[in-house]
Every structure is written in structure tokens, then in C-alpha cells.
A = this chain, B = another copy of it.
Amino acid sequence: MRTRPLKVALLGCGVVGSEVARIMTTHADDLAARIGAPVELAGVAVRRPSKVRAGIDPALVTTDATALVKRGDIDVVVEVIGGIEPARTLITTAFEHGASVVSANKALLAQDGAALHAAAQDHDADLYYEAAVAGAIPLIRPLRESLAGDKVNRVLGIVNGTTNFILDKMDSTGAGYQEALDEATALGYAEADPTADVEGFDAAAKAAILAGIAFHTRVRLDDVYREGMTEVTAADFASARAMGCTIKLLAICERAADGGSVTARVHPAMIPLSHPLASVRGAYNAVFVESDAAGQLMFYGPGAGGAPTASAVLGDLVAVCRNKLSGATGPGDSAYARLPVSSMGEVVTRYHISLDVADKPGVLAQVATVFAEHGVSIDTVRQQGRQDGGGDASLVVVTHRASDASLTGTVEALRNLDTVRGVASIMRVEGE
């Protein structure tokens, strides 16, 4: 074992960073044995230097992150500040000064992954970010390495714990969205401004990262179709249950049936209760992967939290340090497949559509004609008179697989029928 330590600069010492520092101290001997050299915390960059940080030597703390990454003696920079800047500049500066980087920054990786990977490669450095997707769950390494000899066709994941907590609450208690969100906020599962989670921005960033790795293709954040889950209602859950389903906010990355293109999207969807993702409770994450040879795999665990995220960061740190010692770099960016990324219109899936219709003869025939004209074939229809006796009825249509574009056309035409009072909800059905 080498006795000269590898030097680590920690950028950020908040929820994740403080746990990284703690484990580096408490598990120093194990880390040294696994790496083949001791690792030393050489500096900690923060915003508020005067804040008391348990277990951190105050002499290591600095507000000058740039000077820290430019020191020249740093082997690995761990970036757990978050956000685009200054994280991006700090990471590229780190590469320029000979360091490899471990990051947990999904927003930055989703937006600028290609440029950052290129910078890493230019400097023979590693860029690892297992913690950026699904927290503690080993996912990027299995996709990039374990499945490197396989062909991944679909990634279907619950990758946001906040929204899974809310949807699970709505499902198990019958609560509405706002009530469930309030509980998530009170329990610390949702932030004061929950937009990034409930509108699917966080999941979309993860979908872009996962699709890129799974399909060896550049997938930009803009390529990801995104729909939040704020409009999911208790009535939707009732409809889902009637179909033997529940509702999850899913990140879905798919290779088209002909293999010639890929799609990435985030939206709420019904999935059968028998699907392994249906039983993922609370704030847990899980990702289901389908590949040619391996078949169906699932990875499950805590998707966030200081210690779980730090576990993923430290796994990367060990790998990057080992690479440093052997003078190699790990498997970096792989986008050789250059598959086109199709838009949402080309996604093919099933739909569950609730319509409010006039309760009179011939309505079903009219509605069915509209579906047929748009090439969307109907699997089942359920028609029921409304409780309020207002002369209206509801019609629930579940389709066979059809393109999103055809479905959009169908719904537009349905809205123009005067017997259709309104489209109460449209939800995709996945995981069958």
C-alpha cells in the first residue's frame, strides 16, 4: 500500500457533503485498504465559513473554491454544491489542474454532460456521478459496465422520491394532491418550493442522463418530454384501481421497436399492481431495466438523503482514486451510437381516457368512430351514468398501443364532438 495519501477537495458541505466528510473520517482505514492508499481531506469549500461543522477541521474550510481546485496537489475533487454555476466552472478548472471529479449534480450533468465529459477526456481525468441518479442505488455503474455487453431497450424508473411519496400517500389514503404534498413538506420529503420535483424537472434531468448511458447516445435535457404530477387526482387513482393499476411518476427511456431511434420522457402513468415498480413505497426509488440478453432487472433503494447519496459518492471516490493510482481512467462517456432522439409524438404506448359525455344513445358510436379515424384501436370501454343525475355520463376508454401523435389527434377531435362535454383525464398506461 502506498503511504502518500491521495488528496481530496470537497466542494460543498451541506446535506451530502457533510456525510461524505464524516464517512471519509470514520471509515478512513477501510477506504485506504480498498483504494490501496490513504485518502486525505485536503480542503472543504463552502459559502458560510463561520458555520460550525462537526468533525471538520476549521483550518480546511475555505470560501475560495476556485483557489482550492487550482492548488495543483488535489487528486480528486468531489463536487456536492449543486446547480450550474459555479459548479461547472469549478469542475472544468479541476480537470485543467490534473484532478478527477466525482459529482452528485444531476442538473449540471443533464445540461452539460457532453462538454464536461469532453473536458475530462482532454485531461485524461475521470468524471463519475453515480449519486446524480437515484441516490444510493447503483445504477450508472451497472448500466455503463455490467450491461456493457448487452443491448438495453427500456429503462422505466421511479427516480424522484418526493413525488413517489406524494403519489403513494394519495394511493394509500385517498388524499388529494395538495393534502399529500402538505404532508410531504411537513415531513421534510418536499422542499418549500417543490416545483423541481412535482413538475418533473428533477426526473427529466435523470431521464436524460439514463437515456444517454443506456443507449450510448447524446440525449439533451430538451429532448426529454416532461409532464408533472400536480394534476393527478383521487379520481385518477380510483380509475387506476378499477384497472388493477396504481399511478407513478415515471422516467421512461425507450428504444423504438425498429431500434433506429430512442425517446425519453417523464410523466405520471398507470402501471399494473403486479409490476415490481408498483410496490415501491414512500420516498424509495427503483429503476426497471429491460435488455436483450439479461431480460428484466430492477434496482431498488433510497433515492436521496445525505448518507445514501454519500454512499454513492464514496463508491465513485474509491474507483476514481484506484484509477489515479493505476494511471488509467474508467469507462467514460459513450455516445458512439448517435441514435436520433424522437419527439413525444412518436412514442407508442397505451392510454386511459376519461370523457364526460351526454347520456344519450349513439354517443359511444360517435366516440368510437373518432378513435377509428385516427387509427387508435380501443381495448376496453366502460360507460357509466353519473352520480349527480345531470343527464351526463362518463366514458372510460382504454386503448391498444398507439402513437402519442395519433392520441393527441384523437383527443382534439373528441373535444369537437358536441356530445363530449369534456376530457376529464388522459393517462398513459405503462409496464405491461
Interface of A with B (CB < 8 Å)? 19, 23, 27, 30-31, 33-34, 130, 136-138, 141-142, 145-151, 216, 276, 279, 291-302, 305, 307-308, 310-319, 322-323, 326-329, 331, 334, 336-337
Contacts and interface: CB of A to CB of B under 8 A. Distances in A.
Nearest to A326: B328
**Copies in the assembly, this chain:** 2
A251 B58 CA distance: 46
Contacts of A328: 323, 326-328
Given A27-B149, A141-B145, A328-B327, A300 B301 contact: no
A30 B151 contact: yes
Contacts of A151: 27, 30
12 contacts: A27-B151, A138-B138, A138-B142, A141-B145, A148-B315, A148-B318, A149-B310, A149-B316, A149-B318, A293-B310, A294-B311, A300-B300
Given A34-B334, A294-B312, A295-B301, A317 B146 contact: no
Given A147-B138, A147-B315, A308 B279 contact: no
Contacts of A322: 331
Contacts of A292: 307, 311
A297 B300 contact: yes
Contacts of A34: 148-149, 216, 331, 334, 336
Given A146-B138, A318-B149, A334-B33, A296 B301 contact: yes
Q: Which 4 A-B pairs have the closest CB atoms?
A: A149-B314, A138-B146, A328-B328, A293-B311
Given A148-B315, A294-B311, 7 more contacts: A23-B293, A136-B293, A145-B319, A149-B310, A298-B298, A299-B300, A300-B300
A276 B297 CA distance: 14
Nearest to A139: B146
A322 to B, nearest CB: 6
Nearest to A302: B295
B336 A33 contact: yes
Contacts of A216: 30, 33-34
A165 to B, nearest CB: 15
B327 A297 contact: no
Nearest to A286: B298
Q: In the complex, which of the residues A34, A150, A308, A322 has the most CB atoms of chain B within 10 Å of its own CB atom?
A: A150
A135 to B, nearest CB: 8
Contacts of A147: 138, 311, 315
Nearest to A298: B300
Contacts of A136: 293-295, 297
A142 B134 CA distance: 14
A233 B304 CA distance: 42
Contacts of A316: 149
Given A145-B319, A315-B145, A315-B150, A137 B308 contact: no
